[in-house]
Structure 1
Amino acid sequence: MKQKLLAVVLLALIVFIAACGSDDGAANIEFYDTGDFNIELLDTEGNTVNISPDGKTIYAYFTGPN
């Protein structure tokens, strides 16, 4: 019984050390040019409105080919 418990603890320790040692999350940070993501949309009156993503969350849905 003690051997099984020791094996589980050692396995958990190895998994924990392996997970903490990886820097995969830090390597995937990317920066983007906001000019590439500027969007021009029509408002309810037909005027063109420029939307920039700086500090905004843009939600959109599409109802069809109209």
Structure 2
Amino acid sequence: MMLTILIIFLFINGLPALYYGKKYFSLKKNKASDKEFKNLSESMMKSERIVLPVSIILLLVLYFIN
């Protein structure tokens, strides 16, 4: 159970990082405008509103399981 929660935790935090990293390097490679980088940044902030609470809840569940 604990290992499963840790794997879910890694997916929740790792997948957005990989996705936005890929988008960032794609924009940088194509020499995108500042507006596109700003849109990417705003999108990242919106996703963090979901990722952070879910991560905290998972860590609390993991703590109480132990």
For the superposition of Structure 1 and Structure 2, which TM-score range results when normalised by the shorter chain?
0.3 to 0.5
Q: Which structure ranks higher in relative contact order (CA pairs < 8 Å, sequence separation ≥ 6)?
A: 2
Greater share of residues in helix = 2
Larger radius of gyration: 1
